């Protein structure tokens, strides 16, 4: 059954006005289910719901989402004095990793506050106004527990995946693991967002529908006809000092396993974008992206669309990339369903925003957790190749989980 609700206002009456610089967007969020997409202090935050759609699962879910948004936005009364990507009505969304899994949502907030390129603006739907923010309260002591699998069980699944790869069934598969957390008090997403944005400014800090995180991976940025994607695959932990850090970075560049994993991810993005683009620039070699907890091999892909495709059309073509699924895609998804032992929900799925022009930014929901009350479910994943060692993959997953553990613990 398709569940769609448009709250209170039909058609939408949208007004965007320029405002003075709010400086810290996240500090303006009230004590309510927050929406956020922020990097280096720029982006947007929102609250309230003018419209919400629970997107039906299935292979046509992105097309359905675009159709619903088009109908909603085309019928809206829009007064936009700013005229920038992200002004006017904006929907934030989170799509499940698996197309057949329910839980994908799109929400048009009643209030959106944004800043970009030296400008700031406020969008309201109906008569809503700014709500005063109350001070966020840290969650207190955190107790962790096993998720769907214990660490030894997960290592055993990795070993099974390695055998499948060595037998020639596939080249790569990404296996995720989860971790549960229980806090002394209600977990305020604003606390997590502020900590993540402060520690990981290079990442896209996000909050949509209870899924909170800071992803380093930009699936696509769509501005006019221009698109950009940041491909990450191949990971190493940070070193204890500058010398060890540099050595680990050099080892990552020299790793045949990691370079091959990265090449698979880049190839999947090239294959997805080529039919949509009149021009596409794919780097011949990756660069190193250094984050506080890990280092990644990274390639920035840019292009120009050949027609008027919206950002959701590009997301539909790209997801799932080899970086979060595997190669070949169909076989990898089957192995994930068999071996992972859990429902990823929105983990490793697309998360981001889209405006009425079809512009937007969408990332892959990594370094994230589902937050509800005093509980959180944390996720991390690793690209499994023929050379993978289960113990090393477990250590990599634990390094990636530390991002959200930091957000919870401070």
Cα 54 from Cα 106, distance rounded (Å): 7
Cα 326 from Cα 175, distance rounded (Å): 9
Predicted confidence (pLDDT) at residue 300 exceeds the cutoff of 50: yes
Cα 27 from Cα 138, distance rounded (Å): 14
Residue 20, classified by CB atoms within 10 Å of its CB into exposed (0-12), middle (13-18) or buried (19+), is: exposed
The angle at the Cα of 28, spanning 25 to 34, to the nearest 5 degrees, equals 90
Q: State pLDDT tens for residues 54-97.
A: 999 999 999 999 999 999 999 999 999 999 999 999 999 999 99
Any idea which of 79-93, 107-121, 293-307 has the lowest mean pLDDT?
293-307
List active site positions: 172, 217
Cα 64 from Cα 55, distance rounded (Å): 7
For the full predicted model, state whether its pTM sits above 0.75. Answer: yes
Q: State pLDDT tens for residues 145-204.
A: 999 999 999 999 999 999 999 999 999 999 999 999 999 999 999 999 999 999 999 999
- Cβ contact 265:321 at 8 Å: yes
Q: What domains are there in the chain, each with its CATH number? A: 3-127+144-409 (3.60.120.10)
Instruction: Please give the backbone phi and psi of residue 399, each rounded to the nearest 5 degrees, phi first.
Output: -65, -40
Give me the chain's average pLDDT, please: 93
Predicted confidence (pLDDT) at residue 128 exceeds the cutoff of 80: no
Residue 7 pLDDT: 44
Residue 40 pLDDT: 96
Q: How confident is the model at residue 129 (pLDDT cuts 50, 70, 90)?
A: low
Cα 215 from Cα 249, distance rounded (Å): 20
Q: Which of 356, 352, 353, 311 is nearest to 75 (CA)?
A: 356
- Using left for φ > 0, alpha for ψ between -120 and 50, and beta otherwise, residue 41 falls in left
Predicted confidence (pLDDT) at residue 3 exceeds the cutoff of 80: no
Mean of pLDDT values over 19-45:
94
- DSSP per-residue codes, 61-106: HHHHHHHHHHHHHHTSEEEESS-STT-SSEEEEE--SSTTSS-EEE
Mean of pLDDT values over 278-291:
92
């Amino acid at each position: 059954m398709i569940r769609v609700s448009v709250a209170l206002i039909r058609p939408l009456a949208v007004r965007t006005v320029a405002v003075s610089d709010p400086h810290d967007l996240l500090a303006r969020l009230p004590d309510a289910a927050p929406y956020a997409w922020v990097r280096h202090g720029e982006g947007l935050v929102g609250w309230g719901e003018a419209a919400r759609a629970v997107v039906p699962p299935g292979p046509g879910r992105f097309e359905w989402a675009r159709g619903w948004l088009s109908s909603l936005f085309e019928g809206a009364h829009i007064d936009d004095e700013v005229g920038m990507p992200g002004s006017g009505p904006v929907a934030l969304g989170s799509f499940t990793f698996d197309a057949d899994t329910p839980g994908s949502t799109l929400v048009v907030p009643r209030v959106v506050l944004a800043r970009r390129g030296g400008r700031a603006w406020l969008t309201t739907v109906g008569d809503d106004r700014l709500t005063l923010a109350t001070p966020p309260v840290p969650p207190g002591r955190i107790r962790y527990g096993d998720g769907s699998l214990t660490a030894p069980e997960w290592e055993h699944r990795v070993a099974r995946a390695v055998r499948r790869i060595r037998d020639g069934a596939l080249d790569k598969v990404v296996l995720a693991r989860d971790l549960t957390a229980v806090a002394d008090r209600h977990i305020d997403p604003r606390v997590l967002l502020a900590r993540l944005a402060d520690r990981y400014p290079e990442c896209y800090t996000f909050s949509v529908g209870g899924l909170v995180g800071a992803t380093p991976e930009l699936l696509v940025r769509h501005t006019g006809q221009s698109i950009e994607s940041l491909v990450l695959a191949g990971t190493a932990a940070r070193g204890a000092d500058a010398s060890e850090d540099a050595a680990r970075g050099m080892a990552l560049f020299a790793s045949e396993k990691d370079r091959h994993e990265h090449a698979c991810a880049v190839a999947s993005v090239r294959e997805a974008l080529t039919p949509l683009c009149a021009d596409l620039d794919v780097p011949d070699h990756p660069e190193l992206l250094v984050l506080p907890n890990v280092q990644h091999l990274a390639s920035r892909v840019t292009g120009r669309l050949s027609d008027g495709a919206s950002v959701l059309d590009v997301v539909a073509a790209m997801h799932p990339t080899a970086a979060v699924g595997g190669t070949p895609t169909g076989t990898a998804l089957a192995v994930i369903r068999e071996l992972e032992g859990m429902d990823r929900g929105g983990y490793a799925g697309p998360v981001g925003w889209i405006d009425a022009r079809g512009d937007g930014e969408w990332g892959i929901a990594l370094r994230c957790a589902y937050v509800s009350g005093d509980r959180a479910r944390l996720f991390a994943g690793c690209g499994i190749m023929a050379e993978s060692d289960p113990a090393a993959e477990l250590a990599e997953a634990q390094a990636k989980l530390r991002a959200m553990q930091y957000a919870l613990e401070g």
